[in-house]
Amino acid sequence: MDTPDKPNNIEGHDRLQTKLKGLLKHINCTEDLFHMNAYIGKRIPLAGVAHQNGTLRFGADPKRSVLDTHCKTHEIDNLYVVDGSFFPSSGAMNPALTIMANALRVGDHLLERMK
């Protein structure tokens, strides 16, 4: 059984590191240009993962997505999701400002819809 202190998914982590190192080498990027220790080899414990997203795909096709392009569920007319769930994935940056901007966009849509 995995515990919070015991690393897991080591094989996937190692493959990801190898891929990143290969891509950086391919473009002649050295540690002088990119501080590789910032990403390669870092393991964040479960409690440190704060930018979860990508749990609810959005799109026009209800067979391939849960939310429409206004972040409204296809199945329920008055259910909107404006957190990070609609993101397909997250980069290394904090997504809070993008989440806020999307919530404002969806809010504008709701105001128009209620007119």
- Annotated catalytic residues are 51
Question: How far are the Cα atoms of 3, 9, 31, 72, 111 from residue 103, in angstroms, in the given order?
Answer: 36, 34, 38, 12, 12
**CB-count exposure of residue 56 (10 Å: 0-12, 13-18, 19+):** middle
